[in-house]
């Protein structure tokens, strides 16, 4: 699936990923390939994702933490939409 993370300043990431975990208002939840469509609010926490060929934009690499094969990005709040195998996160 495609993950796109957009902040007020720029698009931080557009990459193919295998799994995405986000801090939803009712707790953390995950999405895998071909997940059902969903729209949700996000709270303060970390967006975590894994994939074989993740490509980070050089100027935003410092915003992400990489631990083994998992990438994470701290957010204050946001919105997520999953539709047609594409995840779009609007994050603050």
Note down pLDDT in tens along the chain; length 92 residues: 999 999 999 999 999 999 999 999 999 999 999 999 999 999 999 999 999 889 898 999 999 999 988 999 999 999 999 999 999 999 99
| Helix, strand or coil, per DSSP, at residue 34 | coil
Q: Annotate 25-56 with b (16+ C-beta within 10 A) or e (fewer).
A: eeeeeebeeebeeeeeebeebbbbbebeebee
- What pLDDT is stored for residue 64 in this prediction? 96
Domains belonging to the chain, first-starting first, are: 2-91 (2.60.15.10)
- What pLDDT is stored for residue 68 in this prediction? 86
């Amino acid at each position: 699936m495609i993950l796109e993370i957009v902040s007020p300043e720029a698009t931080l990431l557009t990459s193919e990923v295998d799994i995405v975990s986000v801090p939803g208002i009712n707790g953390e939840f995950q999405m895998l390939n071909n997940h059902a469509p969903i729209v949700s609010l996000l709270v303060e926490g970390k967006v975590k994702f894994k994939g074989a060929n993740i490509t980070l934009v050089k100027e935003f690499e410092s915003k992400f933490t990489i631990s083994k094969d998992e990438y994470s990005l701290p957010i204050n709040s946001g919105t997520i939409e999953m539709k047609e195998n594409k995840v779009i996160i609007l994050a603050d």
